[in-house]
């Protein structure tokens, strides 16, 4: 049975203006069971011939049939399957992976073979080639002869029908050369066809057929009889003609991909650590920024919710007189009696007028400038200001214009330190006041300290401190949030009627009503935008980390070009190479992502502890960062992986 049939094979290399015919119309048949040696001087085309027969290279023209199939009609994956199932390679330079043991090197073809196809145990093969005690040694711990034995075991692990040996004894001493050629003879007697390239006549004499090549042509062919079928053993199975690609992602294979990814990263620790650091910082920054933004949004929501979504605020607007628009608040003022009368407007639950201004407050030898608000008892419930100690202002305080006050925590800290202020007297704008309560902690909203304040009865503020007969605004609580629009119109109409403001064009905003629900929605929109902005800025660092991954993978592809060629020579398909390099990129990205989650969590806690800001890490931010880091690994690792998968086996093996 003919394993190989070639007719008029041509392979031409063009170097500058010169044309080199590596193969010049070569025709050759190789029968099953032959041991054939190809000889010739350097440049005769013998290595090119072997590479084409071994499916590592392609001819420019001519016919090549392997197992009865025309090779030129096969896809790249189909050629890889044939290399895996039918062919075994033994290289002059051994081509062993430096980071793996002899046992792992011998079993490497199994990674790319059909898991259902027959194969031998790599450990047993190493014993057969005399390396039983060396299976855990790496190539740099083995002699040249021992490395070639490992390469031979690797070539046999998938039970090939045909072994291609390119100068298998070229780098060995005489003793090792005889041992290797003896093993090849033994394999040939067991039924395996051997095609060997050599320039040594004493080695070639061990073959049963010798072909001499010169200038790309076969000049002599000592056709032999091969090995009689009756002396062949049953080691080699019947050649399979099935070149159908099999499923690539078995659990064992994916596990091995990750194992090799870790090994490759550990071999370049500093370079991998820098890429890892880029992803770590990026993911950590995204989580921390989103935690800050989410915390700010929730804090704002809590503050606004404390005011209630059914709260309206009435403020004076502007009136048009004689065709001239007056300044805001100059003519449309809100008097206390009108403010209190608003409680009678239908669907209004309660009101609280407010007057405010800055004051100077002193106690003993300490003084402080703060904001003072005069209001009524309803303010405590409407503005979430029920005192933590003492009491709030009462109706009696308001009627009698009592000089009583409640202090915010910032004012207490500045005037009293850690002492209890309730029952003490202070001076506000040189007027004596009795401290009757402590206001609850509200914190900062990012623009002002809401605990830096004093509350007094509204009449006390109006007549004893500010000398005004009107208030700045009125808080209005609506019975049902659904009635806010109706109440808004009713309140505006009521105030225009009370102040006798003409109901003409230009006076629609004589009194303006602010809806806290609308304000809350506006603040939520702003905080969401800020969160998105913070997250986007942090995501830029992730992209920078992704560029780092792409750089390291491109360098890795360049450094491991020969390794890629070897893997393709022993049966790796394009998808196998692509998957391996993608998994390496994803490994860096995912490891950096996990570490980044921990860093982001730690930074968020630190910001909350030291700066006092509320930070919230949500599952969404963690999932988003993790998916984004995985996407970065895939996206930026894809180009180097594709570049690696497209390398020609022979060009990769020749790479220096």
- Listed by start position, the domains of the chain span 2-246, 264-302+522-654, 333-500
CATH class of the domain at 2-246: alpha beta
Closest CA to 213 of 224, 199, 226: 199
Residue 204 phi/psi, 5-degree rounding, is -65, -30
Residues 517 and 481 sit within 8 Å (Cβ to Cβ): yes
Q: Is 50 exposed, middle or buried (0-12, 13-18, 19+ CB in 10 A)?
A: buried
Number of neighbouring beta carbons within 10 Å of residue 276: 24
Q: What's 443's DSSP letter?
A: -
Compute the radius of gyration of the chain from its Cα atoms.
44
Closest CA to 102 of 118, 123, 116, 85: 123
Q: How far apart are CA 371 and CA 358, in angstroms?
A: 4
Pairing of strands 320-321, 311-316: unpaired
Distance of CA 171 to the CA centre of its chain: 46
With left for phi above 0 and alpha for psi between -120 and 50, is residue 443 left, alpha or beta? left
Instruction: Identify the H or E element spanning 323.
Output: none
Check residue 243 and give its pLDDT: 47
Measured CA to CA in angstroms, residue 613 lies from 385, 413, 532, 534 at distances of: 21, 20, 18, 15
Sign of the alpha-carbon torsion through 168, 174, 179, 185: positive
- For β-strands 35-39 and 193-197, DSSP reports them as parallel
CA separation for the pair 455, 55 (Å, rounded) = 91
Spatial separation of the C-alpha atoms in residues 52 and 37, rounded to whole Å: 15
Other beta carbons within 10 angstroms of residue 497's beta carbon come to 11
Cβ atoms within 10 Å of 638's Cβ, excluding its own: 16
For 520-547, write each residue's pLDDT tens digit: 666 667 767 776 776 677 677 777 777 7
Q: Environment class of residue 76 by beta-carbon count within 10 Å: exposed (0-12), middle (13-18) or buried (19+)?
A: middle
Cβ 575 vs Cβ 645: under 8 Å: yes
CB atoms within 10 A of CB 620: 10
Q: Is 577 left (phi over 0), alpha (psi -120 to 50) or beta?
A: alpha
Strand 404-407 relative to strand 453-457, pairing: antiparallel
Inter-CA distances, 442 with 146, 363, 439, 453, 614, Å: 78, 23, 9, 11, 13
What distances in angstroms separate CA 67 from CA 43, 74, 95, one per listed residue? Answer: 29, 12, 27
- Location of structure tokens 């086996």: 649
Nearest alpha-carbon partner for 217 in 456, 4, 25, 447 = 25
Q: What is the C-alpha separation between 493 and 342, in angstroms, rounded?
A: 11
The predicted structure's pLDDT at residue 304: 58
What pLDDT is stored for residue 522 in this prediction? 66
Q: What angle do CA 173, 178, 184 make, to 5 degrees?
A: 125
pLDDT for res 227 = 45
Alpha helices in 308-372 (DSSP H): 336-341
Q: What is the DSSP letter of 449?
A: B
The SS3 call for residue 626 is helix
Burial class of residue 193, CB neighbours in 10 A (0-12, 13-18, 19+): buried
Handedness of CA 492, 497, 501, 507 (dihedral sign): positive
HSE (side-chain half, CA atoms, 13 Å) at 289: 23
Residue ranges in the chain whose pLDDT is less than 70: 1, 223-250, 300-309, 318-331, 445-447, 502-509, 516-524, 527, 531, 534-535, 538, 656
* Exposure b/e, 330-340, CB count within 10 A at least 16 = b: ebbbbebebbb
- Which tokens is 324 given? 């001239």
Question: Mapping DSSP to helix (H, G, I), strand (E, B) and coil, where does residue 128 land?
Answer: helix
CA atoms of 503 and 480, how far apart (whole Å): 28
The C-alpha atoms of residue 79 and residue 115 are separated, in whole angstroms, by 18
Indicate the helix (H) or strand (E) that contains 39. Answer: strand 35-39
User: CB under 8 Å to 14, separation ≥6 — which residues?
Assistant: 20
Q: Note the pLDDT of residue 424.
A: 95
Model pLDDT, residue 307: 56
Distance, CA of 21 to CA of 40 (rounded, Å) = 15
The pTM for the full model equals 0.62
Q: What is the pLDDT of residue 321?
A: 53
Contacts of 485 (CB under 8 A, 6+ apart): none
How many angstroms separate the CA atoms of 638 and 207, rounded?
A: 46
Residue 254 corresponds to which tokens in the numbers above? Answer: 């994916």
What is the 3-state composition of the chain as percent helix, strand, coil, each rounded to the nearest 5?
A: 45, 20, 30
pLDDT value for 26: 92
d(CA 226, CA 232): 11
Which residues, including other chains, have CB under 8 Å from residue 178's CB and lie 6 or more apart?
none
User: CA-CA distance, 169 to 166, in Å (whole number)?
Assistant: 9
* Residue of 424, 435, 442 lying closest to 302 (CA atoms): 442
């Amino acid at each position: 049975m003919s394993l190989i049939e070639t007719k008029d094979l041509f392979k031409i290399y063009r170097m500058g203006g010169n044309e080199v015919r590596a193969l010049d119309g070569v025709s050759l048949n190789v029968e099953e069971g032959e041991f054939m040696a190809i000889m010739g001087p350097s440049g005769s085309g013998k290595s090119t011939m072997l590479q084409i027969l071994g499916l590592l290279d392609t001819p420019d023209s001519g016919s090549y049939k392997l197992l009865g199939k025309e090779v030129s009609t096969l896809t790249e994956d189909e050629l890889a399957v044939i290399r895996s199932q039918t062919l075994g390679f033994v290289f002059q330079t051994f081509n062993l992976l430096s980071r793996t043991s002899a046992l792992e090197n011998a079993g490497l073809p199994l990674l790319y073979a059909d898991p259902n196809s027959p194969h031998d145990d790599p450990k047993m093969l190493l014993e057969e080639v005399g390396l039983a005690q060396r299976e855990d040694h790496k190539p740099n711990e083995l002699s040249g002869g021992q490395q070639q034995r490992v390469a031979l075991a690797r070539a046999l692990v998938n039970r090939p029908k045909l072994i291609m040996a390119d100068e298998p004894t070229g780098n060995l001493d005489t003793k090792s050369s005889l041992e290797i050629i003896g093993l090849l003879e033994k394999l040939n007697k067991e039924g395996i066809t051997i095609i060997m390239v050599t320039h040594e006549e004493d080695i070639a004499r061990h073959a049963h057929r010798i072909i001499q090549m010169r200038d790309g042509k076969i000049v002599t062919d000592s056709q032999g009889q091969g090995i009689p079928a009756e002396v062949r053993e049953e080691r080699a199975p019947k050649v399979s003609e099935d070149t159908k690609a099999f499923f690539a992602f078995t659990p064992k294979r994916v596990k091995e991909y990750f194992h090799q990814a870790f090994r490759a990263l550990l071999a370049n620790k500093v370079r991998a650590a820098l890429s890892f650091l880029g992803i770590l910082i990026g993911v950590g920054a995204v989580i921390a920024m989103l935690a800050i933004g989410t915390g700010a949004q929730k804090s704002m929501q809590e503050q606004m919710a404390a005011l209630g979504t059914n709260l309206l605020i009435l403020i004076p607007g502007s009136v048009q007189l004689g065709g001239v628009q007056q300044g805001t608040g100059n003519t449309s003022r809100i008097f206390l009696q009108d403010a209190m009368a608003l409680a009678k407007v239908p669907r209004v639950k309660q009101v609280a007028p407010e007057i405010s201004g800055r004051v100077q407050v002193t106690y003993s030898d300490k003084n402080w400038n703060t904001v003072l608000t005069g209001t009524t008892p309803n303010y405590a419930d409407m503005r979430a200001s029920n005192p933590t100690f003492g009491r709030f202002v009462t109706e009696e305080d308001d009627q009698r214009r009592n000089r009583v006050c409640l202090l915010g925590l910032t004012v207490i800290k500045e005037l009293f330190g850690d002492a209890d202020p309730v029952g003490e007297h202070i001076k506000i704008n040189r007027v004596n006041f009795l401290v009757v309560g402590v206001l609850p902690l509200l914190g900062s909203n990012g623009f002002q300290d809401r605990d830096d304040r004093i509350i007094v009865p509204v009449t006390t503020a109006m007549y004893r401190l500010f000398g005004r007969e009107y208030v700045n605004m009125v808080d209005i609580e609506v019975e049902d949030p659904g009635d806010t629009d109706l109440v808004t119109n009713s309140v505006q109409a009521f105030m225009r009627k009370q102040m006798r403001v003409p109901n003409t064009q230009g006076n629609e905003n004589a009194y303006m009503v602010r809806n806290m629900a609308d304000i809350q929605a506006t603040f939520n929109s702003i905080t969401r935008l800020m969160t998105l902005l913070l997250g986007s800025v942090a995501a830029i660092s992730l992209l920078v980390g992704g560029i780092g991954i792409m750089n390291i993978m491109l360098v890795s592809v360049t450094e491991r070009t020969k390794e890629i060629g070897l893997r393709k020579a022993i049966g790796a398909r394009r998808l196998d190479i692509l998957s391996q390099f993608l998994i390496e990129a994803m490994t860096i990205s995912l490891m950096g992502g996990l570490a980044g989650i921990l860093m982001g969590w730690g930074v968020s806690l630190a910001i909350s502890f030291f700066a006092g800001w509320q930070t919230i890490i949500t599952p969404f931010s963690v999932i988003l960062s993790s998916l984004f880091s995985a996407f970065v690994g895939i996206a930026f690792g894809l180009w180097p992986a594709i570049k690696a998968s497209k390398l020609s086996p022979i060009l990769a093996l020749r790479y220096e």
